[in-house]
Amino acid sequence: MGSSGEMPIWLENLLSEKFFVPCSQHEGVKKNEKNILCLDCCFGFCPHCIHPHRSHRLLQIRRYVYHDVVRVEDLEKLIDMCLIQSYTTNSAKVAFLNPRTQSRPFRGSGNGCRSCDRPLQEGFLYCSVSCKVTTLHVEDEW
């Protein structure tokens, strides 16, 4: 991550982009949901928009329990994914991009996310990429 203390633009866009919404360029086409982020152009698009980006660095966004996730293997090439709790889906480890809403506050004496207090398994400090990035950005640990 940047030594200047600023979050990379592609990461800001990854965490703020709305994925799995219809692509405005391909409204009448099947499978038109935005689920790819171009790391070089810093925006999301659908699979039908991929041609101009074929030589760029691309990151596929996936869905797990109705939330946006990325494969840990893909994102750890770009940022430090340690201490973010991961889950296994389709034989791949994934991490949530953003925190999930909680129905009730965490009251246990166990481990909770340093940013949003979501209960976590032992050994993890963050429930999502966003929670880690936000916490580290606030603490200037970039």
Domain limits, the chain = 9-138
Q: What is the value of pTM for the model shown? A: 0.86
Percent with pLDDT over 90 in the chain? 72
Place of tokens 């009251």: 107
* CB 34 within 8 Å of CB 10: no
Q: What is the pLDDT of residue 136?
A: 78
Q: What is the pLDDT of residue 7?
A: 84
Q: What is the pLDDT of residue 139?
A: 55
**What pLDDT, in 10s, does the model give residues 21-68?**
999 999 889 999 999 999 999 999 999 999 999 999 999 999 999 999
Q: Counting beta carbons within 10 angstroms of the beta carbon of residue 35, is it exposed (0 to 12), middle (13 to 18) or buried (19 or more)?
A: buried
What whole-number distance in Å separates Cα of residue 61 and Cα of residue 96?
Answer: 10
* CB 64 within 8 Å of CB 47: no
